[in-house]
Amino acid sequence: MSKTLTLGAIKKENAKYRETKRIQLDSKNHLDVNTKFDPDTKELAKAEFIKVIFDKLLEITNNSNVDGEFDNSLYEQASDEYLSAINLIGIQIALIIKHFTSLEIDATTYEDYVKVMSELGKYDYTEAIIEALGKEERDKLFAEFTTELDKANNKIIEEVEKLKAQNQNQATE
């Protein structure tokens, strides 16, 4: 027989998202990492990822306008450089560290996240932190980042196609 759901039962179930484990990074530094990823925080991390990437994409687009003309080769070159798989993964890792560890990260822009990863890389902490997060939670979130980016891309393409159709209809009228 089932029981009536209570707020207490929900709080008890949600307590698993507050569980952390402490990892020793070196002789002087430790970090607390979440053992389970809270769904709300995951959504926040994914939304921030999309914002960071599309803000950079908008910047690249704006910088590709030369004398009022869009320079596609300049756009492609900058997109390839800034939005490479390695850079996207680095930003995802930085976001996971920001949202699921005790490390204080105040990054908000693409450049901020690149600096975070550069600083972490100097001390070889990144791998230890990522490994401590747990493979299942980490891999699931990486897949969700990709899915969110694909959804956002598809939505933009859909909106661009609608605008093109509207412009063609207006031009033929």
- Smallest Cα–Cα separation from 90: which of 127, 57, 61? 127
Report the C-alpha gap between 153 and 125 in whole angstroms. Answer: 32
Report the C-alpha gap between 36 and 137 in whole angstroms. Answer: 7
- Tokens for 136? 């299942």
* Neighbouring C-beta atoms of residue 67, cutoff 10 Å: 5
Give per-residue pLDDT as tens, 81-137: 998 999 999 999 999 999 999 999 999 999 999 999 999 888 888 989 999 988 999
The answer as to whether 19 is a domain residue is no
The answer as to whether 142 is a domain residue is yes
**What DSSP designation does 125 have?**
-
What's the total number of domains in the chain? Answer: 1
Return the higher-pLDDT residue of 146 and 17: 146
pLDDT value at position 51? 95
The answer as to whether 170 is a domain residue is no
Chain position carrying tokens 């994914």: 46
- Residues 78 and 62 sit within 8 Å (Cβ to Cβ): no
Burial of 93 (0-12, 13-18, 19+ CB in 10 A): buried
Model confidence, pTM: 0.85
Give me the domain span that covers residue 67.
38-158
